[in-house]
Amino acid sequence: MTAGAYAAMERLQRAGLLVVPITGRPAGWCDHIARMWPVAAVVGENGAFYFRYDQAARKMLRRYVHDTTTRAAQREQLQQIGANIVAKVPGAAIAADQAYRETDLAIDYCEDVALLARAAVDRIVALMQAHGLTAKVSSIHVNGWFGSYDKLGMTKRLMREEFGAELDRAREHYVFVGDSPNDAPMFDYFPHAVGVANIREFAGRLAHEPKYVTIAASGTGFCEVADILLAARM
C-alpha cells in the first residue's frame, strides 16, 4: 500500500464514493483494514468473508461462508496439505501471512521467495486441486480453499446485506480495479473493470481480461483510476 494509493482511497471516500477492498489477504489484515483504512468494508481471503467496522458502535461485523466449526476443521486439513505441497515443489513456501488466515492456504511463489517458474506455479495449483481445493493464482501466492466461493459471490452478498444494492441490476454503476488472475470473475462481471498495468504480466493466463488497463502499475495505477473518477464528479 503506497501513500498515494491510501490517499486516493481517502479522497474517494470524502467524495461520497463507496470504497471496498476485495483481496486475497488474510483475516488478520482485513480486521486492520476495516478498522483503520478509509473504506466502507473489506472482502478477504478471496471471498471467504466480509468485515465491516461500525465506527459509531465500535463493533466489527463479520460474515463468513463457513461456520466456526467448519473453519477450524478445514484449517487442520489445510496445514497438512500445505506441508505436502512445500515438500513437493522446491522453492515454494507457506506464505508469511498464513498465521493470520482463517479459511485458506497460501503458498508463496514470489513474495518472500525467489520467483518460481510458471511450471512450478502450475504444479502448486494441480496439487491443491488434487487435494480437493479450489485453487487460484494471485500476483504473489497460490491460494487454495474448500468450497466453490469466490470474490464476486461475497462482494454481491456484502453489497446486498450492508448497502441494499443488488449488483446484478446495478453493476454498471461500479468500478472494479484488480491486478491478478484471481480477479478474473470480477473482470468478467463488471462492465467497468480495470487492471493496473502489472496485469500484463499474466497475459494469456487470465480467464477474463479487464476492459481497461492503466498506464502505471500497482498503487500508482489505482491512483490513475481514482483521479479519473474524481475528475468526472467535478
What is the residue type of 132? G
Q: Report the pLDDT value the prediction gives residue 204, as an integer from 0 to 100.
A: 85
DSSP letters for 208-224: S--SEE-SS-HHHHHHH
Q: Choose one of 111, 145, 179: the last residue of a domain.
A: 145
Together in a domain, 124 and 78: yes
Q: Choose one of 125, 145, 165: the last residue of a domain.
A: 145
Together in a domain, 17 and 41: yes
Question: How many residues does the structure list for the chain?
Answer: 234
Q: Report the pLDDT value the prediction gives residue 203, as an integer from 0 to 100.
A: 85
> Which domain covers residue 87, as residue numbers?
68-145
Together in a domain, 101 and 197: no
Together in a domain, 138 and 30: no
Q: Report the pLDDT value the prediction gives residue 207, as an integer from 0 to 100.
A: 87
Together in a domain, 159 and 219: yes
| Strand, coil or helix: 106 | strand
Supply the pTM of this predicted model. Answer: 0.92
- Domain count along the chain: 2
Q: Report the pLDDT value the prediction gives residue 135, as an integer from 0 to 100.
A: 96
What is the residue type of 55? Q
Together in a domain, 119 and 57: no
CATH of the domain at 36: 3.40.50.1000
Together in a domain, 157 and 226: yes
CATH of the domain at 81: 3.90.1070
Q: pLDDT truncated to tens, each residue of the chain (234 aa)?
A: 899 999 999 999 999 999 999 999 999 999 999 999 999 999 999 999 999 999 999 999 999 999 999 999 999 999 999 999 999 999 999 999 999 999 999 999 999 999 999 999 999 999 999 999 999 998 899 999 999 999 999 999 999 999 999 999 999 999 999 998 889 999 999 999 999 999 999 888 888 999 999 999 999 999 999 999 999 887
Q: Give the residue among 24, 51, 218 at the shortest CA–CA distance from 135.
A: 24
